[in-house]
Structures are given as structure tokens and as C-alpha cells.
């Protein structure tokens, strides 16, 4: 069988298993209501949790940044790509997170694989939550490290792994898990890691902006600091509403990443205008507490109504509210039925989630209204009883 024939066979198999993925074309700004494939829909699948992606001040800052710096950065940070805007944003992120330094990456995926592969070698042990994001797992694999996974959010299982380590280990976890919406037990984890002379790394992509004082994320939510979590990763394409990612930590950590992280060294820097715009979104994220207050009200209301309606709700107190339906085909049918009614909710299937746990991943954002949520809940209750 030729390579192309094998590709066709593999794609046909995915279709038969309801695992085939399709891209949709969006022709409007991000928001609670968007235009997808020419259809106006109410969107419940964006990670723009605070509604900043289309904020007029952020748009104006992007335009101002483009006028000042042009569009492309021209090269990697280590050549000619590191602009004043990049440098100012790194300093602002470091101050906001309470770290000595911060370093910009082109995406969260590149940040995670860059950090782990720069810090770990073949003999090193990396302990990861079983439901960690793919980028974290891939970072350990790229490093050739000894990747050991422990049961999801299970500190007893983590302890058993730590006891068996000979020497220091890197413990890695999502802060808020992207497909489940639950939060890592960081207080217990930080204590365990210190006890066993290990190092804790947290990817807080889905916690920044939503949790903690001024949206400082899950580390602040648990009142921890840089001694508890020395390596902190965040993305800018979610609550910040822009693009890119960052790693925050000590002077030694950041300098090591500049020297050794291949996904930093060999990648063109994000456009300086995006960095410039992110400085504005950071100020909005820090100071607009009403956005978090409104989002938390929506989360509480959604959960109360969903429980009353008997919907298959997961144990999540964050903006990510998955409804586990089990079967991939059923998840697709429900997602398409919602779309016919003008509501966009993604069907999440294996391998993104474990087999048998296909789900509708509902995400709430500050741009939604209570009426939006009520409309979604009414349709979900009807469709789940019919399908």
C-alpha cells in the first residue's frame, strides 16, 4: 500500500468512528455572537473568557502598535526580533506574576515543549498528571526524559511516584484542566514537591484572567508564590484576547531558556504590535474585576440550572463546563443539533479526551448574558432527553 493510500484509509477510519475533525470558517470578530460558515450563532466554545479579543481599546492598541513597529517582527528574539514592545510586556508580566523575569514564546505549545526540553535530559524524571495538555507530554517526550504519569489530581498517586524517584524530579501539571475545567490541588502538590526535593511547573493557560486577585491565576488563587511554583507558564490567546505565551520565573530560569529552549531560539518572535496590544489587555484584565464577577455569576447560574435539569455535568467551578455524553457519535449529533438551533458548542472526542468520555465542552465568557445561558440550558435539556 502506498503512503497516500494509507492516508486515505486512515481518514476513512476516523470518519467511521466519528473522530474526523472539521474546520469552521469564522467571518466576524470573536464574541458571544459570531458568524460561522455564513451563519450567525451564539458561541459557547471560545477561550476568550473575559471578552477582550474584540475590545475596542485592545484593537486600537494593535493598530497603534502596527503604526509604530510595522507588522512582522522580522526575525527571532535573538537576532533582530526583540522589540521594545516585547521587552516592556515581559517586564509587565514578570511584575504582575511576582516573578523576577518573564519570557515571551510564540504559543503555549512552544512554551511548554521549550521549557521541559531545555531543563530535562534522558536521565531526568518528569512526573505528569494523566490529563495534562498534549504540549506538556510532548515536551517530556522531546527531551527523551523518563515520563511517568500519575492518576488525575491524585496526590497519593503523585506521592508514590515521588517516593520511587532517585534524585530530583520535575512535576508538571495544568492549573485548570482544559477539557474538564477542574483545578489542580496545588497547595498539596507544592508541599509534596518540596518534601521530595522536586520542582513544580504549572501551565495556567486557563486560569490566568479568571482566577486569583487581578486575574493572577491558580497560583494566586491558592495563595502560593514563586518558591512554591518556580516555573509558571501562561498563554495570551485566552483571557488576554491576543496571541502568544510566556514563562515566568527566576533570573536563572529565564536566562537558561534563552540559551537552551529550541522553540524560543529558532522561532520568529510574535509581531511586536501584538505585544504592544497585550500591554493594554493586561491592564484591562487586571483592573476590570466586573468581568470576573459577571463570569462567576454565569458559572454559578449555569451549574445550578444544569444540576436541576439533571444534565451530565462535570465537577468544575471554572469557565469550562463539560457535559460528558460518553459516545463520540452522540457528542457529534448533539453538537450538530445545537448548531441547527444557532448555538455553537464543540464536540470533544478521543484522543483529546479518554475513550468513552466524549463531551460537549461548554465555555462561558464575560461577553455572555444570563439570557444567553438560559437559552443554551433550555436547548441542552431538550436535546439530551431526545438524543
Asked whether residue 241 carries a pLDDT value surpassing 70, the answer given is yes
The model's pLDDT over 210-221, given as tens digits with 9 standing for 90+, comes to 999 999 999 999
Average pLDDT over residues 44-49: 97
Asked whether residue 385 carries a pLDDT value surpassing 90, the answer given is no
Domain residue spans of the chain: 22-50+289-386, 58-287
Instruction: Determine the Cα–Cα distance for residues 54 and 270; give it in Å rounded to an integer.
Output: 19
Quick check: is 16 catalytic? no
Catalytic choice (55, 82, 238, 294): 238
The model's pLDDT over 353-373, given as tens digits with 9 standing for 90+, comes to 999 999 999 999 999 999 999
Average pLDDT over residues 218-239: 98
What's residue 167's pLDDT?
73
Q: Is residue 248 within 8 Å of residue 99, measured between CB atoms? A: yes
Average pLDDT over residues 288-296: 97
- Report, at the CATH architecture level, how domain 58-287 is classified: 3-Layer(aba) Sandwich (3.40)
CATH 3.90.1150.10 for domain 22-50+289-386: yes
Mean pLDDT of the chain: 96
The model's pLDDT over 147-193, given as tens digits with 9 standing for 90+, comes to 999 999 999 999 999 999 877 899 999 999 999 999 999 999 999 99
| Of 108, 158, 107, 167, residue with least CA distance to 128 | 158
Give the full edge-to-edge strand order of the sheet including 125-129.
Answer: 101-105, 245-249, 231-235, 199-203, 169-174, 125-129, 146-150
Catalytic choice (43, 46, 135, 178): 178
Instruction: Determine the Cα–Cα distance for residues 205 and 217; give it in Å rounded to an integer.
Output: 9
Average pLDDT over residues 12-26: 90
The length of the chain in residues reads: 387
The model's pLDDT over 293-307, given as tens digits with 9 standing for 90+, comes to 999 999 999 999 999
Quick check: is 55 catalytic? no
Catalytic choice (55, 206, 368, 372): 206
What's residue 107's pLDDT?
97
Quick check: is 226 catalytic? no
Average pLDDT over residues 20-49: 94
Average pLDDT over residues 29-37: 95
Q: Is residue 50 within 8 Å of residue 211, measured between CB atoms? A: no
Torsion of the alpha carbons at 219, 222, 227 and 231, rounded to the nearest 10: -20
Asked whether residue 387 carries a pLDDT value surpassing 70, the answer given is no
Listed range (70-74, 120-124, 293-297) with the worst mean pLDDT: 120-124
3-class SS of residue 347: strand
CA distances from 284 to 99, 179, 291 (A): 20, 26, 9
Amino acid at each position: 500500500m502506498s503512503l497516500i493510500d494509507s492516508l486515505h484509509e486512515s481518514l476513512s477510519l476516523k470518519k467511521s468512528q466519528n473522530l474526523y475533525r472539521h474546520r469552521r470558517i469564522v467571518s466576524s470578530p470573536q464574541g458571544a455572537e459570531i458568524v460561522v460558515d455564513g451563519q450567525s450563532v451564539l458561541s459557547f466554545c471560545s477561550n476568550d473568557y473575559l471578552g477582550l479579543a474584540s475590545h475596542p481599546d485592545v484593537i486600537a492598541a494593535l493598530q497603534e502598535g502596527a503604526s509604530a513597529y510595522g507588522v512582522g517582527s522580522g526575525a527571532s528574539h535573538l537576532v533582530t526580533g526583540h522589540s521594545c514592545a516585547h521587552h516592556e510586556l515581559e517586564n509587565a508580566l514578570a511584575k504582575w506574576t511576582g516573578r523576577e523575569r518573564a519570557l515571551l514564546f510564540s504559543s503555549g505549545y512552544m512554551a511548554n515543549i521549550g521549557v521541559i526540553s531545555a531543563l530535562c535530559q534522558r536521565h531526568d524524571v518528569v512526573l505528569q498528571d494523566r490529563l495534562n495538555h498534549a504540549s506538556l507530554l510532548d515536551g517530556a517526550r522531546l527531551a527523551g526524559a523518563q515520563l511517568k504519569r500519575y492518576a488525575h489530581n491524585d496526590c497519593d498517586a503523585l506521592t508514590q511516584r515521588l517516593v520511587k524517584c532517585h534524585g530530583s524530579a520535575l512535576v508538571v501539571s495544568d492549573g485548570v484542566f482544559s477539557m474538564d475545567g477542574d483545578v489542580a490541588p496545588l497547595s498539596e502538590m507544592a508541599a509534596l514537591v518540596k518534601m521530595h526535593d522536586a520542582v513544580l511547573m504549572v501551565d495556567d493557560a486557563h486560569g490566568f484572567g479568571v482566577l486569583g486577585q487581578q486575574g493572577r491565576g491558580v497560583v494566586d488563587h491558592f495563595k502560593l508564590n514563586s518558591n512554591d511554583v518556580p516555573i509558571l507558564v501562561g498563554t495570551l490567546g485566552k483571557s488576554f484576547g491576543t496571541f502568544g505565551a510566556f514563562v515566568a520565573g527566576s533570573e536563572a530560569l529565564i536566562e537558561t531558556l534563552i540559551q537552551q529552549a529550541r522553540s524560543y531560539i529558532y522561532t520568529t518572535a510574535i509581531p511586536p504590535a501584538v505585544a504592544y496590544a497585550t500591554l493594554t489587555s493586561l491592564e484591562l484584565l487586571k483592573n476590570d474585576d466586573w468581568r470576573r464577577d459577571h463570569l462567576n455569576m454565569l458559572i454559578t447560574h449555569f451549574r445550578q440550572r444544569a444540576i436541576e435539569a439533571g444534565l451530565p455535568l462535570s465537577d468544575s467551578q471554572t469557565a469550562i463546563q463539560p457535559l460528558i455524553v460518553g459516545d463520540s457519535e452522540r457528542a457529534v449529533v448533539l453538537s450538530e443539533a445545537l448548531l441547527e438551533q444557532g448555538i455553537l458548542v464543540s464536540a470533544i472526542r478521543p484522543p483529546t479526551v479518554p475513550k468513552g468520555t466524549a463531551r460537549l465542552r461548554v465555555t462561558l465568557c464575560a461577553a455572555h448574558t444570563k439570557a444567553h445561558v438560559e437559552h443554551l440550558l433550555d436547548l441542552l435539556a431538550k436535546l439530551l432527553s431526545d438524543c
